[in-house]
Amino acid sequence: MSDFRQSQNEAHPNKTNTLMTGIILLLILFVTIQIWFLFGALNNALQENLNFAITTAVGSLVFAFASFWLLRYLPDPIKKRKKK
């Protein structure tokens, strides 16, 4: 018996792929920005520029939470969907 989810998946077979690629690209973007923040904070902390360190730390935490939140939308493993 087919249900709504199955017919949706059959109508749009690339959906999982697109979602996965989108999430991974977003995560790579977040991590890249965080590396940039960390590098800047390290350099500026040496110059006793605390405000910059605080700003980047807050930004980095926001990105980390966003990354964890994005995991909610990870598609389920394909293996589990194979119902034959």
Partner 1 sequence: MSKDPNQEIPKWKQDFPIEQKEATHVSRREFAKFLTLLSGALAVGNTAIVVKSLAFPEKPLIGEHPICLESQVAEGESFQFEIEGSKTIPYLLINLGEGEWRAFEQKCTHLSCAVKYRHDIGQIECPCHKGYFNARTGDVIQGPPPRPLPQLEVVIREGQVFVKAQTV
Contact residues: partner 1, CB under 8 A: 1, 20, 23-24, 27-28, 30-31, 34-35, 37-38, 41-43, 45-48, 50, 53-54, 56-57, 60-61, 63-64, 67-68, 70-71, 74, 77, 79-80, 82-84
How many residues does the structure list for the chain?
Answer: 84
Backbone angles phi, psi at 6, to 5 degrees: -65, -45
Judge contact between 27 and 70, C-beta under 8 A: yes
Containing 78, the helix (H) or strand (E) segment is helix 78-81
Please say which residue, 3 or 11, places its beta carbon nearer to partner 1: 3
CB of 36 to partner 1, least distance (A): 10
